[in-house]
C-alpha cells in the first residue's frame, strides 16, 4: 500500500542527505513504526509520504499510484494525519472537528454527522454526551481520541501519525494505545507511525523501521528485530532487555504444552499417580464434566492418600488464557509464586499448561535459529 523506492532528501544548504536512499514497503492494513534517534530522518521520511516535505529523489507510491502525479493538497486530503499536538479547533464542537475533512470533501451533512456519531461509539464516547461539546470540555486523553477519529473520518486508506501519544501521561497512553489497536482491528488502515519509544513500537507495530543518520538500518517484524538485530547499533537501540520485550509479542499458545493428561473428580488417586508417573509430572489438573479447570492434585498426595481425586484436590492460584501474551504469563507466575499455569480457551476449558522453563526454551530457540 505504501512503497518507497530509493527516496532521498537533502535540504537546502545541507551537505549530507537527511534521508538517504530509503526503500521499504508497508503492506495494506499494517502498522509500520519509524524509530531512531533524534535527527535520524524518520519524521522527514513520513512527511515525504504526504508531500509536506518534497523528496529530492526517488519515488513514493500509495496503492500503486506515484504521489508525484497527485496534487499535494488533494493528496493530503486523501490521507489521515495525526500529530502530537492534536490541533482540534477550539471554536468547533467535537462533531464539527471530526467532520472537518468530510466537509471539505463535500460530503452530505447527514452522512458526515452520522459518521461522527459512529466513530465516537467506536471509542466508547457517548455521542449524545460528546457530539456538541467543545475541546476544552474534554480531557487530554479524550482530545487525543478525537484527533484520531478526525484523521479517519473520511475513511482514508492511509494514516500518518507523528508521535501521536507522546504528550499523554503513561497510564492514559497505554489505555489509548489499546483503544487505537482495537480501532485498527476494525478499520484496518495502512499506517506509518513515527515514535521515539521502542516499547510503544513493539506493542503497536506489525513492522519496525530503524533509522540512523538518514539510512534505513533494519526493517523487520518486532519479534525478528528483537531476536536478530542486524548490528550493534540496533541491538543497543532496542535495549538490553530485548528478551523481556519479546515476551509481549509471543502468545501463551506458542509455549504451551497441549493435550495434557487430566483427571476428573471421580477418578482415583492411584489413577492420578499413574498418569503423573507416565508423563513425568509432579501435578495434574482436575477438570469438571465440561472440561473446565476445577483444581489440581500433586504427586505426593496422589501417592500417599487414598480415595478419589475430588476428595484431595487443591485450588489453583489462577489460570491463563492461551491467547494472552507471555509477558502476562510470566507476571502472573511471579505474582502467585508458581512455576506453571494451566491454560484455558475462551470458554474456560483446560487445553494445556505453560511453564517458566518452556518459556525460556522458546526464547532461546528463537535466538539460536538466527
Query: 46-58, pLDDT tens digit by residue?
Result: 999 999 999 999 9
Contacts of 115 (CB under 8 A, 6+ apart): 98, 99, 102, 107, 153
The number of angstroms, rounded, from the C-alpha of 362 to the middle of its chain's C-alpha atoms is 21
pLDDT attached to residue 210: 96
Lowest-pLDDT choice from 82-86, 218-222, 265-269, 316-320: 82-86
Q: pLDDT digit string (tens) for 280-320?
A: 999 999 999 999 999 999 999 999 999 999 999 999 999 99
C-alpha angle with apex 304: 303 to 307, nearest 5 degrees?
A: 85
pTM for the whole structure: 0.76
Task: Fill in the DSSP letter of residue 236.
Answer: H
Say how far apart CA 367 and CA 364 lie, in whole Å. 5
Neighbours of 332 (CB within 10 A): 18
Say how far apart CA 324 and CA 248 lie, in whole Å. 9
In which band, very low, low, confident or very high, does the pLDDT at 114 lie, cut at 50, 70 and 90?
Answer: very high
**Average pLDDT score over residue span 65-73:** 94
Q: 3-state class of 10 per DSSP? A: coil
In which band, very low, low, confident or very high, does the pLDDT at 366 lie, cut at 50, 70 and 90?
Answer: low
Sheet holding 19-26, edge to edge: 19-26, 2-9, 57-62, 65-66
Q: pLDDT digit string (tens) for 208-238?
A: 999 999 999 999 999 889 888 999 999 888 8
Say how far apart CA 119 and CA 66 lie, in whole Å. 30
The number of angstroms, rounded, from the C-alpha of 10 to the middle of its chain's C-alpha atoms is 33
pLDDT attached to residue 341: 95
pLDDT attached to residue 367: 57
Say how far apart CA 169 and CA 146 lie, in whole Å. 17
In which band, very low, low, confident or very high, does the pLDDT at 165 lie, cut at 50, 70 and 90?
Answer: confident
pLDDT attached to residue 24: 97
C-alpha angle with apex 242: 240 to 248, nearest 5 degrees?
A: 150
> Domain spanning 2-246: which superfamily?
P-loop containing nucleotide triphosphate hydrolases (3.40.50.300)
In which band, very low, low, confident or very high, does the pLDDT at 333 lie, cut at 50, 70 and 90?
Answer: very high
Q: Is 234 left (phi over 0), alpha (psi -120 to 50) or beta?
A: alpha
CA within 13 Å, CB half, 187 = 26
Mean predicted lDDT score pLDDT of the chain? 90
pLDDT attached to residue 3: 97
Say how far apart CA 52 and CA 67 lie, in whole Å. 12
Say how far apart CA 152 and CA 179 lie, in whole Å. 14
Strand 57-62 with 2-9, pairing: antiparallel
Domain ranges of the chain: 2-246, 252-367
pLDDT attached to residue 186: 84
Q: Which CATH architecture has domain 252-367?
A: Roll (3.10)
Q: Are 152 and 159 in contact (CB under 8 A)?
A: yes
pLDDT attached to residue 55: 96
Q: Which of 321, 246, 131 is nearest to 332 (CA)?
A: 321
pLDDT attached to residue 255: 93
**Cell numbers describing residue 322:** 492461551
Kind and range of the H or E element at 162?
strand 158-162
**Average pLDDT score over residue span 181-195:** 89
**Average pLDDT score over residue span 355-369:** 78
Residue 368 has pLDDT above 60, yes or no: no
Amino acid at each position: 500500500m505504501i512503497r518507497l523506492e530509493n527516496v532521498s532528501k537533502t535540504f537546502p544548504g545541507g551537505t549530507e542527505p537527511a534521508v538517504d536512499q530509503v526503500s521499504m514497503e508497508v503492506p495494506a492494513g499494517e502498522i509500520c513504526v519509524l524509530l531512531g534517534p533524534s535527527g535520524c530522518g524518520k519524521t522527514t521520511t513520513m512527511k515525504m509520504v504526504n508531500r509536506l516535505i518534497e523528496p529530492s529523489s526517488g519515488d513514493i507510491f500509495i496503492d500503486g499510484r506515484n504521489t508525484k502525479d497527485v496534487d499535494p493538497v488533494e493528496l493530503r486530503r486523501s490521507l489521515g494525519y495525526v500529530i502530537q499536538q492534536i490541533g482540534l479547533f477550539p471554536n468547533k464542537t467535537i462533531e464539527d472537528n471530526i467532520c472537518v475533512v468530510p466537509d471539505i470533501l463535500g460530503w452530505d451533512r447527514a452522512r458526515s454527522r452520522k459518521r461522527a456519531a459512529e466513530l465516537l461509539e467506536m471509542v466508547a464516547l457517548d455521542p449524545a454526551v460528546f457530539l456538541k461539546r467543545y475541546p476544552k470540555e474534554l480531557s487530554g486523553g479524550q482530545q487525543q481520541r478525537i484527533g484520531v477519529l478526525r484523521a479517519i473520518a473520511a475513511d482514508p486508506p492511509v494514516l500518518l501519525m507523528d508521535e501521536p501519544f507522546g504528550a499523554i501521561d503513561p497510564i492514559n497512553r497505554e489505555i489509548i494505545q489499546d483503544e487505537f489497536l482495537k480501532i485498527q482491528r476494525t478499520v484496518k488502515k495502512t499506517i506509518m507511525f513515527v515514535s521515539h519509544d521502542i516499547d510503544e513500537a513493539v506493542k503497536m507495530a506489525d513492522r519496525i523501521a530503524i533509522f540512523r543518520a538518514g539510512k534505513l538500518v533494519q526493517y523487520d517484524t518486532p519479534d525478528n528485530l528483537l531476536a536478530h538485530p542486524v548490528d550493534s547499533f540496533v541491538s543497543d537501540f532496542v535495549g538490553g532487555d530485548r528478551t523481556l520485550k519479546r515476551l509481549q509479542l509471543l502468545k501463551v499458545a506458542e509455549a504451551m504444552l497441549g493435550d495434557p493428561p487430566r483427571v476428573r473428580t471421580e477418578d482415583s488417586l492411584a489413577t492420578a499417580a499413574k498418569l503423573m508417573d507416565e508423563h513425568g509430572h509432579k501435578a495434574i489438573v482436575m477438570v469438571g464434566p465440561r472440561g473446565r479447570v476445577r483444581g489440581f492434585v500433586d504427586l505426593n498426595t496422589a501417592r500417599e492418600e487414598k480415595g478419589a481425586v475430588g476428595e484431595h484436590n487443591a485450588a489453583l492460584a489462577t489460570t491463563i488464557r492461551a491467547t494472552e501474551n507471555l509477558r502476562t504469563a510470566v507476571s502472573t507466575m511471579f505474582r502467585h509464586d508458581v512455576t506453571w499455569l494451566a491454560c484455558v480457551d475462551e470458554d474456560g476449558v483446560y487445553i494445556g499448561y505453560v511453564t517458566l522453563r518452556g518459556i525460556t526454551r522458546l526464547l532461546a530457540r528463537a535466538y539460536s535459529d538466527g
